[in-house]
Structure 1
């Protein structure tokens, strides 16, 4: 909408400027000056109407927008917390004083801190020792995250384009992290000594796929954090 207003306003303001400039060099009995005044009036009127409509819409949808922001923040929390649990980290990596505070924003920031400072640096090492049961748990979490993002996309008419892109990105990274499990379920999580014999080096294949999965999960945490940051900012803006 902002881009549309600029496309409308800029040509009118340019035409008004030209009219004022020509009026100083050409005698038109005030026609050009009146034209410039009318054009500027149109721009002001359009800008005012746009402001009124946006203010009305923001007020009418404030409750819905705040709840959507809450669901986005909950999604970011669940995405990282589920990943933490799937990789074998307990709640000991979290600040329990913050968890007991009941402050949802502080808890959200603490969950994101763990995602960046604890999960990402250890992602590759954790995948290396993840067993078959752990992979099933991780796969179920990533699939659940994908589905929750899909449910939120039903409100796309109330989401900003950046939020929609982030939800798509979260789904994409979840799918990328699932590729190893879906393609080689007989290799993912299997101890090296128990790997099946193949024509290629199965240990190298497993290691390469663990590398790719770790990178996808690292990006997964980055996207979850971006969703968290935006949802917190949006909630603050709408309530403020």
Structure 2
């Protein structure tokens, strides 16, 4: 099946960007409009996609430029899903849902999810794979009062956030993340098919809904040799 025009424009621009020198200027929006014969809104959405992924940057009144560093590793940060990031990198994503159980969380998780003392959460243990190779090991904590009767079989044919939306009408609108550079323990290395002591990214992620209520807290270990964590900062003057 042929890709939608929007995706084809993104793919074509991405190929061009990776052949260009860092900080090289891209064609103007007007030039891209003429080249692709599509609407200005579509061009802007395509550029926004590339900017959010760290491939380009824009300077007000000056134009759009190739980012200083363009890496092939998927970006593990931002609101993009693991599956979408791997797809963009030409890899196949899959998930092993290892276990799901009700637990009494520790104090750190209680604080992150604004829980009452002794309030139960679901602990979901997963391994995310790229081309059938382990890449991320994670434990997600979900308040039981928000996700009653949650079952691991809910994840057989649907992604976690899809279950949130379809079964519980819970939509994450914002995520807060802290990232540490750590070394894998022996057990963690076994989960990720990597040697103990290997570098990895430890990511603490809290997701909130439109009512500013925490709905998920996840602790992930991502292989440091397979992912990049990319963020964007903007000067409020521009």
TM-score range, shorter chain: under 0.3
TM-score (norm 1): 0.20
Which entry has the higher C-alpha Rg, 1 or 2?
A: 1
Higher relative contact order (CA 8 A, sep 6+): 1
Query: Larger % of strand: which?
Result: 2
TM-score, normalising length: structure 2: 0.20
